[in-house]
Amino acid sequence: MATTRIMPLHIGKGRTESQAVSDIIDYVSNPQKTDNGRLVTGFACDSRVADAEFLLSKREYISTTGRVRGADDVLAYHVRQSFVPGEITPEEANRLGVEFAKRFTKGSHAFVVCTHIDKSHIHNHIIWNAVNLNCDRKFRNFWGSTRAVRRLNDTICVENGYSIVEDPKPHGKSYNKWLGDQAKPSHREQLRVMIDQALEQKPADFDGLLKLLTEMGCEVSRRGQAIRLKAPGWKNVARMDGKLGKGYSEDEIRAVLAGKKEHTPRKKAAVQSEPPKVNLLVDIQAKLQAGKGAGYARWAKVFNLKQMAQTMNYLTEHVKLGKALAPLQQIFKFHSALCAVLLVLQGCKDARQRRAAVSRACHQLAAARQQFLCQTESVGNALVRHPE
């Protein structure tokens, strides 16, 4: 199984173009990680001076085209390709990295492939020049390039007999959301918990509250009119004001201690998972009449089956229908079997025999569809009688 990630290389703050390219090339070609440089392969460049060649090609590109970009210019592209421990040899991983780079850049960009063996998993670092070999065009990162990289990587792995990630997890969540309940509480969250615990002991006044916070290990200090708190293990301080949260400012805490206001501890918002999405079925006949071809029809049949299966699973897990769901399950099984029969019959060589068989199957499918609609109405009535 191999995973990939594409990363554009920019100049960055406080660096020159030469430093930016040299830093990444020096890191990926580290002799301690690449078996003394044995697992470093260059294409259309000398891997030992690849950084200089990349910069020279950029100078030629600017001279030829006259196009100059600012600090957001992309100097090179970096792909990290990781493999499951024990599944592949370093030499084979390097070969697959070279094959991937050649196919993805279509052989028009110089690149370096470095295979690292310092970790438990073998992984490649692939760096290709943003400027092509003719120095008249640049590689542009396109929308969906991450998906394209993953598909090409999976294709190469399958062709060579290696496993792939069958169901990759989507990205886009923040780190704290990804951690969920295991996320470390922030400084202010920790301070709010300590204040809640101190209020539970019902101190006589505000000074008694500060004394309890001090006994819990919280550092309490005053700067001007502001009270500053610092929980154990944190470097910075937080003021006891509105930024600490609603109900935790100094005035609000004093009002609670005076009996003028009731304190409600702030609870951490739970991250709710998104409900499963079930799309509507595709009207295959209408799409065919609109000009779609046989390939679309085959895709739509599989799509409809998957949507029906998701609906069935949702009803089974969330709705108590009892015997009302049994007829619908039979209809779904019959529909699935008919679709499978259709796919087989469409592969028959004899045209007359195929047309007759497909015609009979279509009539059966139409009858099954009508029965399915009737059963759907009965299931809808059952939903009304047996709410969740």
**CA-wise closest residue to 139 among 129, 147, 148:** 129
Q: What is the pLDDT of residue 170?
A: 61
Q: What is the pLDDT of residue 29?
A: 92
Q: What is the pLDDT of residue 91?
A: 95
Which residues are CB-neighbours of 364 under 8 A, at least 6 positions away? 338
Q: What is the pLDDT of residue 39?
A: 96
Q: What is the pLDDT of residue 226?
A: 84
What sign has the CA pseudo-torsion 171, 173, 175, 178?
negative
> What are 220's strand-pairing partners?
229
**Contact (Cβ atoms closer than 8 angstroms) between residue 85 and residue 121:** yes
Helix (H, G, I), strand (E, B) or coil at 4: strand
**Contact (Cβ atoms closer than 8 angstroms) between residue 6 and residue 75:** no
Helix 326-345 vs helix 294-318: angle between axes, to the nearest 10 degrees?
160
Both tokens of 290, joined, read 């609109």
Q: What is the pLDDT of residue 141?
A: 84
Both tokens of 101, joined, read 């780079």
Domain ranges of the chain: 2-159, 187-257, 284-385
C-alpha separations of 382 from 312, 325, 374, 379 in Å: 15, 9, 13, 5
Terminal C-alpha separation, the chain = 42
**Contact (Cβ atoms closer than 8 angstroms) between residue 209 and residue 258:** no
C-alpha separations of 123 from 23, 126, 288, 291 in Å: 19, 10, 46, 46
Q: What is the pLDDT of residue 116?
A: 95
Q: Tens-of-pLDDT digits for all 388 residues of the chain?
A: 466 778 899 887 778 888 889 999 999 999 999 999 999 999 999 988 898 899 999 999 999 999 888 777 899 999 999 998 889 999 999 999 999 999 999 999 999 999 999 988 899 999 999 999 999 999 988 888 888 898 899 899 889 988 887 766 665 565 555 555 556 778 888 888 889 888 888 888 888 888 888 888 888 888 888 888 888 888 888 888 878 888 888 888 888 888 888 888 876 655 454 554 545 555 656 666 676 777 777 677 766 666 666 665 555 555 555 555 555 555 555 555 555 555 555 555 566 666 666 666 666 666 666 665 565 556 555 554 555 4
Q: What is the pLDDT of residue 374?
A: 64
Both tokens of 303, joined, read 């799509």
Q: What is the pLDDT of residue 129?
A: 95
Both tokens of 186, joined, read 């922030």
Domain 2-159, classified CATH 3.30.930.30, yes or no? yes
Q: What is the pLDDT of residue 278?
A: 47
**Contact (Cβ atoms closer than 8 angstroms) between residue 33 and residue 117:** yes
Q: What is the pLDDT of residue 30?
A: 93
Q: What is the pLDDT of residue 271?
A: 47
- The CB-based long-range contact list for 247-255 (8 Å cut-off, 24+ gap) reads 248/191, 248/192, 248/195, 250/206, 253/195, 253/199, 253/206, 253/209, 254/206
C-alpha separations of 274 from 231, 312, 333 in Å: 34, 19, 29
Strand ranges (DSSP E) for the chain?
2-10, 40-43, 74-83, 111-116, 123-129, 219-223, 226-230, 238-239
Both tokens of 312, joined, read 């069935």
Gap between the Cα atoms of 22 and 218, Å rounded: 47
C-alpha separations of 113 from 10, 106, 214, 297 in Å: 19, 15, 56, 42
Q: What is the pLDDT of residue 128?
A: 95
**CA-wise closest residue to 93 among 108, 79, 113, 110:** 113
Helix 145-159 vs helix 90-105: angle between axes, to the nearest 10 degrees?
130
C-alpha separations of 67 from 6, 73, 156, 295 in Å: 25, 11, 36, 44
